């Protein structure tokens, strides 16, 4: 038996779930994802290219050639549901099975409906599984499908829906798999179908509301009152879901309801988060853990952070602030994905720890180039002065400035790479912490967050500098509140002043104070933290105005305490003079004036008598 890992392909238009599933699959040594796609047309093209690569024997059929290269396609049933122009999940499954009959297809669905499972079997799927199942079940299902041992009978048997009701009235009803003769009965009534459709639509709306509440409950900045109100609404929705399942149940078409989770347990709103959940409070021992597990822990946490609010809470302008929320999230996903691929390349290239320091700059530059190309689009073209201009080649020409101003200033990249690739302990406040320790995990998470944010800023910087007011770019990428020329120029000026101030004042100050400022995903958005790190060599290399800043800080530190003491003494003396001397003198003068007024009034009364 070959030791070659099972090669898989992922097809899903949800980049979040696809990324999470790939992270989870890569934890297994005998599983590897070699291709992925977000639409049917691209998926079929990739399969055809795999056939061309693997078909070395002209007599080999495409199906057999592809099966030798690719062992399983994991396809989302919801593919294309939000875009009718795209190929739908069931249609793609049928097309794959018709062209490559020996290639197994595992369909994943977010709906626990017997009709869906039956339709999947009818479309030729080799297996069916819910996206929300636990990791053990999903792992078993994948291996059963690849070996042809998936048992459709384990799914609750359903009755075929054979009806002449108009499809516009019951759009959720589809033909399902053949059934044994013993199960052939009359078609369900129109009332049963209506109840079924109402139940499915109601559960979808309730699940969407539950997912929205779950996202809000994950906000660490919620007050106790708001959290209590949201928790109450969450319990109400869970109760409503239970009632809808019971009151609108259709025994002929449904399976027994799955056990409800306790109301106190928050359900992940994104399916991929269910793949790598860990029990809160589980201690992480100060021991070496598996490389893939450490990487999966950090990347899963980063993925979870990216799904939350991405507003800039630092008060410092960042290049990514001009992006729409969806584009900002897409950019972070892409940086995370490319960084994962970079780690795999370094791991397979057998790079040694001492080589990472000298390869640091090329590694970051390659990461930036890959992300820029994929995010903007390799062939993305704009028109200026009646000339077609390819954007990406122009952006890549700014590599030197991006590397100087952003990439080279990302701290501790070599330490992070060594920690992820070789489990080298992280030095935190002068103390080394091994991989798996809570302190090292927290520090690695902060370094990874900062890397993602700064690379994303590097992608946007040349775009803002070279194509700031191109209407097509503004429509495709920019936030609707920052689309006017005035707003864009103000934004660019703020960025320019920020870099000037950072270069002249902030960076020398940080070097002198032996610290780094990191941008991290925290609570309600992007925030800034400080970490200690020795920077003696950088301090010795300072010169010019940057050196004068440190001299001014040192002078202030030397003079300020004594000056404050002197001012305090002078101030105390001045207070004494004003209150005890001048104040008493003014008081005596005022007293004499009052006495004079009194004598005058008394003499005036005497004269009147």
DSSP string, 277-307: ---TT----SS---HHHHHHHHHHHHHHHHT
* Statement: residue 568 has pLDDT above 60: yes
* Sign of torsion over alpha carbons 358, 362, 365, 366: negative
- What is the band of 220 on the pLDDT scale with cuts at 50, 70, 90? low
Supply 414's token pair. 């070599």
More confident residue, 83 or 511: 511
Average pLDDT of span 380-407: 88
- pTM, two decimals, is 0.56
The rounded distance, in Å, linking the Cα atoms of 98 and 24 is 30
Return the pLDDT at 24: 85
* Statement: residue 133 has pLDDT above 70: yes
Q: How far is it between the farthest Cα atoms of the chain?
A: 143
Beta carbons within 10 angstroms of residue 283's beta carbon = 6
* Statement: residue 181 has pLDDT above 50: no
**Mind listing the pLDDT tens digit for each residue in 536-559?**
888 888 888 888 988 888 888 888
**Mind listing the pLDDT tens digit for each residue in 154-165?**
664 433 332 323
* Statement: residue 45 has pLDDT above 80: yes
The rounded distance, in Å, linking the Cα atoms of 542 and 196 is 73
Q: Report which secondary-structure segment, H or E, holds 81.
A: none
Strands (E), 489-589: 515-522, 525-532
Return the pLDDT at 517: 92
Return the pLDDT at 179: 36
Per-residue DSSP letters for 530-559? Answer: EEE---HHHHHT--HHHHHHHHHHHHHHHH
Using an 8 Å Cβ cutoff, are 132 and 271 in contact?
yes
Return the pLDDT at 290: 56
Least confident range from 57-71, 233-247, 272-286, 299-313: namely 272-286
Return the pLDDT at 410: 92
Return the pLDDT at 373: 92
Question: Which three-class secondary structure state does DSSP give residue 186?
Answer: coil
Using an 8 Å Cβ cutoff, are 553 and 559 in contact?
no
More confident residue, 487 or 435: 487
* Statement: residue 167 has pLDDT above 80: no
The rounded distance, in Å, linking the Cα atoms of 12 and 411 is 35
* Statement: residue 171 has pLDDT above 50: no
Beta carbons within 10 angstroms of residue 120's beta carbon = 28
Q: Report which secondary-structure segment, H or E, holds 34.
A: strand 31-37
- What is the band of 372 on the pLDDT scale with cuts at 50, 70, 90? very high
Return the pLDDT at 519: 92
- What is the band of 300 on the pLDDT scale with cuts at 50, 70, 90? confident
* Statement: residue 603 has pLDDT above 60: yes
Return the pLDDT at 596: 74
- Strands 105-109 and 127-130 turn out to be parallel
% of the chain surpassing 90 pLDDT? 14
* Statement: residue 516 has pLDDT above 80: yes
Residue with tokens 């080589």: 355
* Statement: residue 134 has pLDDT above 70: yes
% of the chain surpassing 70 pLDDT? 79
Using an 8 Å Cβ cutoff, are 338 and 374 in contact?
yes
* Statement: residue 409 has pLDDT above 60: yes
Instruction: Collect all residues with Cβ–Cβ distance below 8 Å to 317 and sequence separation of at least 6.
Output: 491, 494, 495, 498
Q: What are phi and psi of 433, to 5 degrees?
A: -120, 125
Q: What are phi and psi of 284, to 5 degrees?
A: -100, 115
* Statement: residue 210 has pLDDT above 80: yes
Domains and CATH numbers, the chain: 1-158 (3.40.50.2300), 291-542 (no CATH)
Supply 528's token pair. 């800034």
The rounded distance, in Å, linking the Cα atoms of 339 and 224 is 38
Beta carbons within 10 angstroms of residue 485's beta carbon = 10
- What is the band of 272 on the pLDDT scale with cuts at 50, 70, 90? very low
* Statement: residue 599 has pLDDT above 70: no
Q: Report which secondary-structure segment, H or E, holds 73.
A: strand 72-76
The rounded distance, in Å, linking the Cα atoms of 27 and 8 is 14
The rounded distance, in Å, linking the Cα atoms of 113 and 106 is 16
The rounded distance, in Å, linking the Cα atoms of 127 and 105 is 7
For residue 504, the 8-state DSSP code is: I
Return the pLDDT at 608: 65
* Statement: residue 435 has pLDDT above 50: yes
Return the pLDDT at 542: 87
- What is the band of 318 on the pLDDT scale with cuts at 50, 70, 90? very high
Report the Cα–Cα distance between both ends of the chain, in Å, rounded. 135
């Amino acid at each position: 038996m070959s030791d070659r890992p099972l090669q898989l392909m992922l097809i899903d238009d949800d980049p979040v779930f696809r990324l999470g599933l790939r992270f989870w699959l890569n934890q297994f040594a005998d599983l590897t994802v070699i291709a992925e796609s977000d639409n049917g047309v691209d998926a079929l093209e990739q399969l055809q290219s795999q056939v061309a690569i693997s078909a070395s024997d002209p007599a080999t059929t495409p199906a057999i050639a592809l099966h030798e290269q690719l062992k399983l396609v994991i396809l989302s049933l919801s593919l294309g549901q939000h875009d009718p122009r795209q190929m739908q999940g069931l249609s793609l499954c049928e097309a794959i099975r018709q062209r490559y009959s020996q290639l197994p297809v595992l369909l994943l669905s977010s709906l626990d409906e017997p009709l869906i499972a039956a339709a999947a079997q009818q479309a030729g799927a080799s297996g069916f599984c819910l996206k929300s199942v636990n990791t053990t079940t999903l792992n078993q299902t994948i291996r059963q499908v690849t070996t042809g041992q998936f048992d459709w009978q384990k799914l609750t048997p359903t009755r075929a829906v054979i009806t002449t009701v108009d499809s516009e009235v019951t759009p959720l009803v589809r033909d399902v798999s053949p059934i044994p003769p013993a199960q052939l009965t009359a078609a369900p009534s129109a009332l049963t179908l209506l109840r079924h459709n109402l139940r499915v639509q109601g559960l979808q709306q309730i699940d969407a509301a539950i997912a929205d509440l779950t996202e809000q409950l994950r906000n660490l900045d919620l007050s106790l009152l708001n959290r209590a109100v949201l928790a109450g609404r969450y319990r109400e929705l869970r109760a409503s879901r239970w009632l809808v399942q019971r009151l609108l149940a259709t025994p002929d078409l449904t399976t027994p309801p799955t056990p409800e989770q306790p109301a106190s347990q928050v359900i992940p709103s994104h399916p991929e988060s269910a793949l790598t959940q860990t029990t809160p409070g589980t201690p992480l021992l100060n021991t070496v853990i598996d490389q893939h597990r450490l990487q999966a822990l950090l990347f899963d946490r980063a993925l979870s952070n990216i799904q939350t609010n991405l507003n800039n809470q630092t008060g410092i302008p960042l290049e990514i602030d001009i992006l729409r929320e969806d584009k900002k999230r897409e950019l972070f996903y892409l940086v995370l994905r490319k960084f994962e691929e970079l780690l795999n390349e370094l791991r397979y290239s057998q790079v040694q720890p001492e080589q990472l320091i000298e390869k640091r700059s090329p590694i970051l530059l390659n990461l930036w180039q890959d992300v820029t190309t994929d995010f903007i689009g390799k062939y993305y073209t704009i028109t200026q002065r009646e000339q077609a201009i390819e954007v990406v080649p122009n952006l890549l020409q700014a590599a030197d400035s991006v590397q100087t101003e952003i990439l080279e200033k990302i701290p501790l990249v070599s330490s992070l790479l060594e920690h992820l690739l070789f489990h080298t302990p992280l030095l935190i406040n002068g103390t080394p912490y091994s991989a798996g320790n809570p302190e090292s995990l927290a520090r690695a998470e902060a370094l990874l967050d900062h890397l993602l944010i700064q690379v994303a800023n590097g992608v946007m910087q040349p775009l803002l500098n070279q194509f700031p007011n191109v209407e097509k770019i503004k429509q495709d990428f920019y936030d609707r509140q920052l689309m006017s020329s005035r707003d864009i120029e103000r934004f660019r000026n703020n960025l320019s002043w920020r870099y000037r101030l950072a270069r002249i004042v902030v960076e020398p100050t940080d070097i002198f104070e032996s610290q780094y400022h990191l941008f991290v995903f925290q609570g309600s958005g992007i925030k800034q933290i400080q970490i200690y790190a020795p920077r003696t060599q950088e301090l010795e290399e300072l010169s010019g105005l940057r050196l004068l800043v440190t001299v001014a800080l040192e002078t202030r530190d030397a003079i300020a305490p004594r000056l404050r003491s002197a001012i305090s003494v002078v101030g105390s003396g001045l207070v004494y003079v004003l209150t005890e001397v001048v104040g008493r003198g003014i008081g005596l003068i005022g007293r004499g004036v009052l006495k004079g007024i009194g004598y005058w009034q008394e003499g005036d009364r005497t004269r009147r008598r």
